[in-house]
Amino acid sequence: MSLRDDIPRGSLVALDTVVWIYELEANPVFGPITDDLFQNGFGSGHCRAGCSLLALGELLVQPLSVGRLDIVDEYRRLIAPGPQLAVWEINREVIETAAGLRSRY
């Protein structure tokens, strides 16, 4: 049984930055879980993914700091709206709401 099996067909799954990191960096512990989700969940059309542009901003910090523009370009390409990924714009209201939720939970 996999995480994907627990997600109802057609669901929209919101992804936080850490999920992208596990997948993109092939984390030895969580990478197999995220890989199944990305390949057999989102990739197969079982469910869709969504994330905010804030995730892209967080992901770009490390490759920018070490001059890896190839990785920056790859992350920009991956985190773009498409059939299997919704990308949500962010604004002040969204950021302040998120901060409030994080402070409570």
DSSP 8-state secondary structure symbol assigned to residue 1? -
Using pLDDT thresholds of 50, 70 and 90, give the confidence band for residue 2. confident
Other CB atoms within 10 A of residue 52 CB: 21
pLDDT for 52 equals: 92
Report the predicted TM-score, pTM, of the whole model to 2 decimal places: 0.81
Q: Which long-range CB contacts under 8 A does 18-24 form with residues at least 24 apart?
A: 20/51, 20/55, 20/59, 20/78, 20/79, 21/59, 24/59, 24/75, 24/78
pLDDT for 1 equals: 60
**What are the tens digits of pLDDT across the range 45-83?**
899 999 999 999 999 999 999 999 999 999 999 999 999
| Dihedral sign of CA atoms 66, 67, 70, 71 in order | positive
